[in-house]
Structure 1
Amino acid sequence: MKIVILFALVFSALNSFAETILTDVVEVEKINSEYVLFASDGQIYRLNADKDIEDAIRAKELGFMVEIQLDETLDTSEILGHRNNILGISLSSKESMNSFYDSNPSHQKNYSPADLISSYISDFDSEYQVNSLFQSLNGNMRRKSQCYNRAHVWSWELYRISRSAGRIQTGKMWLFFTRKYIREYDYKWWFHIAPYLTVQGQARVIDRTFTNGPLDERSWTNIFMQNNAACPSVSRYTDYENNQNAAYCYTIKTSVYYWQPWQIEGLEKNGQVRDQWQSYEVKKAYKNAFGWRARVPELD
């Protein structure tokens, strides 16, 4: 009887650390002898059961999201750390966000790299000005918030500020980790993102979660690259997608309106241009960053 009670207590304790999240399946691959799921939140999760592998592949083929149960609470604020194990996976009735948004681009046209940055990015005279803006941003976000949502929130907070040259508008700096890097370092992310401004034309990345102030591009990428590898800057999603073993990482700069990676991919493959704020995306970002009761502050 004591053994049964002890087992029940241990099982309950283990479950208390588990967490269920809803995500799109970007890819399912075998890396270093184990199957992993590349999720839309930027994380790479370990798949253990054959059924979970099959369900993940099926969800991607059908274009549905999945609910995955993790073996411990998700913490996206850890740069290194290990991959979370998937304890169970089930197909959701919700279509993937990719499928939903593909039918609602701002407008469509033939691809041009110039469309990645289709609006101005605020430029400043001094490092002091950008550092002051950095320090004004709210860094107290949920530990399991997603980087693309944090980037959207910080960008919106800055956009609310007016100055003589117009509203402050960021660009987005995307860092994509290749299979080469993920394989060699057993890395748990496949992308990261933060906003950026410029000082006399030079990019300064605004990553309130992982830095104490604005950084130049190389200093920022070095935080995440355990080998301090240089990350070539490219202007097409396929430059990253099709060259997984040519470099350890790539960066892509976009305008503020690109919220998730599939929107960059959608621009190149389907001509889906993003050139304005989408209120639904801003609301989703705030709720993920601060909780479901969060409200989007109005423009001043």
Structure 2
Amino acid sequence: MRFLLLLLVLISLPLMANTQLSTQIHDIDMGAQGNEEPLIFLASGDVVRFKNFDKNVLLQLREAIKKKTWFRVTLNEKREILKLEEIAAPLPTSHEKMLHFSDAPYRPSYLKSMDQARSMFYEARTNHKESQCFNRAHVWAYDWRIKHQLYSSKVWLFFTRKYIRKFKFQWWFHVAPMAHVNINGEMKERVMDIKYARGPIKLKTWTDIFMRDYADCPVVEKYSDHANFPESGTCFVMKSSMYYYQPVDLEQRDLTGIEKSHWMEPEVKQAFLEAMDITL
């Protein structure tokens, strides 16, 4: 219990100084009541505010979403945007190189025991720098694939607008790898969140780390099940293969019906650089 309380404190701590992020504007929430403070959802997963928000700012942000513009975002300790500086996209948008390790279709691996799952958990890379959850998850999943031939999954936790406003929560999603483990002859899912857990844990135990109302988060099949009902409930869970990097990948799967089936080299390189300061 003390560990969970400490995590809640760490998750809730405001930034102690101006912080910079390189990201895109994912969405804007003007509130359901009409008189609520606008919230800006960054592609990094952060929920922030805009100091001196007005109609012109709203139009500019909506145009940036439409054009998929990249920014260097400067935030103050109140998580307000102080400065938006347009920058070049860090990843190429076409002709991205795929990393082929096998032509076999994706199928989650099964670990033979919790001891094996714990061994992989404790050997995972760590870094004390602040980083985005999707970058960390991609590094861990990729490492396990290379070192142990493990085909892991990912589990995505989405927080609704209702929940974010009620608890002044700072993220709109979180993601971690997930392994399938043989426990007493049955295959069980165990979340492998190296940053926020002490070992492989059950899905509900994992969501409870972040859900201050300890809600049961329904598992949905499509990203649109979350995106189209932002005020419904407080949370949603989605599951995917290890190849999915950001929520936009889940959205694209809904639109095209095509599963992401390979590692993309620019994404892997970006994840290692952003999460671990490692240049591949």
1:295 to 2:270 alignment:
no
RMSD: 2.3
**1:279, CA displacement in angstroms?**
1.3
**1:193, CA displacement in angstroms?**
0.2
Q: Closer, same or farther in 2 for the Cα pair 1:93/1:290, shift >3 Å? A: closer
Alpha-carbon distance in structure 1 between the residues aligned to 2:39 and 2:160: 14
**1:295, CA displacement in angstroms?**
3.0
Contact 1:172 1:194 in 2 (8 A): yes
**1:62, CA displacement in angstroms?**
2.5
The amino acid that maps onto 2:242 is: V
Alpha-carbon distance in structure 1 between the residues aligned to 2:75 and 2:162: 25
The amino acid that maps onto 1:63 is: K
- CA-to-partner distance for each residue in 1:84-107, whole Å, 9 max, x for gaps? 1111224x253596x936x8698x
Q: 2:70 aligns with which of 58, 65, 72?
A: 65
**1:246, CA displacement in angstroms?**
2.8
Residue in 2 that maps onto 1:26: 26
Contact 1:64 1:96 in 2 (8 A): no
- CA-to-partner distance for each residue in 1:130-183, whole Å, 9 max, x for gaps? 11110111222422x110000000011111224xxxx11210110011112112
Q: Name the SS for the 1:273 alignment partner.
A: coil
Q: 2:111 aligns with which of 116, 124, 137?
A: 124
Contact 2:269 2:279 in 1 (8 A): yes
Alpha-carbon distance in structure 2 between the residues aligned to 1:141 and 1:122: 29
Alpha-carbon distance in structure 1 between the residues aligned to 2:128 and 2:142: 15
Aligned length: 250
Residue in 1 that maps onto 2:191: 205
Alpha-carbon distance in structure 2 between the residues aligned to 1:147 and 1:61: 25
The 5 A counterparts of 1:184-195 are 184-195=166-177
Q: 1:250 aligns with which of 232, 236, 241?
A: 236
Residue in 1 that maps onto 2:46: 43
Contact 1:105 1:272 in 2 (8 A): no
Q: TM-score, normalised by structure 1?
A: 0.77
Q: 1:240 aligns with which of 223, 226, 237?
A: 226
Q: 2:164 aligns with which of 182, 205, 208?
A: 182
Q: 2:214 aligns with which of 228, 236, 241?
A: 228
**1:69, CA displacement in angstroms?**
1.4
Query: Structure 1 stretch 240-249 or stretch 167-176: which is displaced more?
Result: 240-249
Q: TM-score, normalised by structure 2?
A: 0.82
Q: 1:140 aligns with which of 115, 127, 138?
A: 127
Q: 1:88 aligns with which of 83, 88, 100?
A: 83
Unmatched 5+ stretches in structure 2: 1-15, 99-104
**1:129, CA displacement in angstroms?**
1.3
Q: Name the SS for the 2:65 alignment partner.
A: helix
1:173 to 2:155 alignment:
yes
**1:52, CA displacement in angstroms?**
4.1
The amino acid that maps onto 1:26 is: H
